[in-house]
Amino acid sequence: MAGAAERDAGLTAVYPAALASGIRAVADRAAMNLMNLPIQAESPDTFSTAHLKGDLKGRSVSGGLITLTSQGAQFLLQSASTVALARLLVPADFGLVAMVTAITGVAQGFADLGLSEATIQREQISHAQVSTWSRSP
């Protein structure tokens, strides 16, 4: 294990020997824990929604109120930041900020290209279809 010897030499050069051995022991235990993690197979009911159908009306109203509140807060914060920028910047700079804000606002509309709506409409989905880090078959 050449890597361990190099690591040990680096630790003892920076830290006292007792502290270096403690750090080495913790690092070795962490490495062993990572190697012993069980590999979890994808369960067929990973994305099951059966438990959500019980109180659908209450969940819908609650979700709607949360969305309405967050949209209102976002509007107020954006309005306040626009007023603050209008007061702090000269008109030419504020015009530039306004143009960039308009362009980024349009770009945000195309951000996910409807992928979230497509995922919501599927009855059965797999982890590969939801995750952006795995390849779909």
Structure confidence at residue 71 (pLDDT): 94
If one compares 9 and 136, the residue with the highest pLDDT of the two is 9
CA-angle at 23, arms to 20 and 25, nearest 5°? 110
Picking from 110, 107, 109, 128, the residue whose alpha carbon sits closest to that of residue 119 is: 128
pLDDT band for position 89 (cuts 50, 70, 90)? very high
Q: What is the pTM of this model?
A: 0.46
| pLDDT at residue number 107 | 86
Q: Average pLDDT, whole number, for the chain?
A: 75
SS3 88: helix
pLDDT, residue 77, reads 96
* Structure confidence at residue 91 (pLDDT): 93
pLDDT band at 47 (very low <50, low <70, confident <90, very high): low
Q: What pLDDT was estimated at residue 136?
A: 46
CA distances from 123 to 29, 49, 99, 126 (A): 43, 9, 41, 10
- Would the pLDDT of 61 be above 50? yes
Q: How does pLDDT run across 29-40, given as a tens digit for each residue?
A: 766 666 665 555
